[in-house]
Amino acid sequence: MSCSPPTAGRRPPTADRRARVLERKQIALLRSFAAWAAAAIDSANLLTETRAALADLERANEIIRDRSAVIERASDVHDRLAELVLRGGGVHDVAAAVLQVLDGTVEFTETTAAPAAPLEASRGLIQTGTGSTVAWHFACSGNSFCDSL
5 inside domain: no
15 inside domain: no
Amino acid identity at 25: K
Residue 95 has what pLDDT? 81
Distances (CA, A) of 55 to 41, 43, 67: 21, 18, 18
**Which of 54-63, 80-89, 100-109, 138-147 ranks highest by mean pLDDT?**
54-63
Residue 133 has what pLDDT? 41
1 inside domain: no
135 inside domain: yes
pLDDT of 122 over the 50 cut: yes
111 inside domain: yes
List phi, psi (to 5°) of 55. Answer: -65, -40
Residue 134 has what pLDDT? 42
Amino acid identity at 68: S
| pLDDT band for position 147 (cuts 50, 70, 90) | low
Task: Summarize the confidence of residues 81-110 as an average pLDDT.
Answer: 79
Give per-residue pLDDT as tens, 24-61.
999 999 999 999 999 999 999 999 999 999 999 999 99
Residue 85 has what pLDDT? 86
Q: In the 3-class helix/strand/coil scheme, how is the chain assigned residue by residue?
A: CCCCCCCCCCCCHHHCCCCCCCCHHHHHHHHHHHHHHHHHHHHHHHHHHHHHHHHHHHHHHHHHHHHHHHHHHHHHHHHHHHHHHHCCCCHHHHHHHHHHHHCCEEEEEECCCCCHHHHHHCCEEEECCCCCEEEEEEECCCCHHHHHC
Residue 132 has what pLDDT? 40
Q: Which domain holds residue 140?
A: 22-148
11 inside domain: no
65 inside domain: yes
Q: Number of structural domains, the chain?
A: 1
As a whole number, the mean pLDDT across the chain is 75
4 inside domain: no
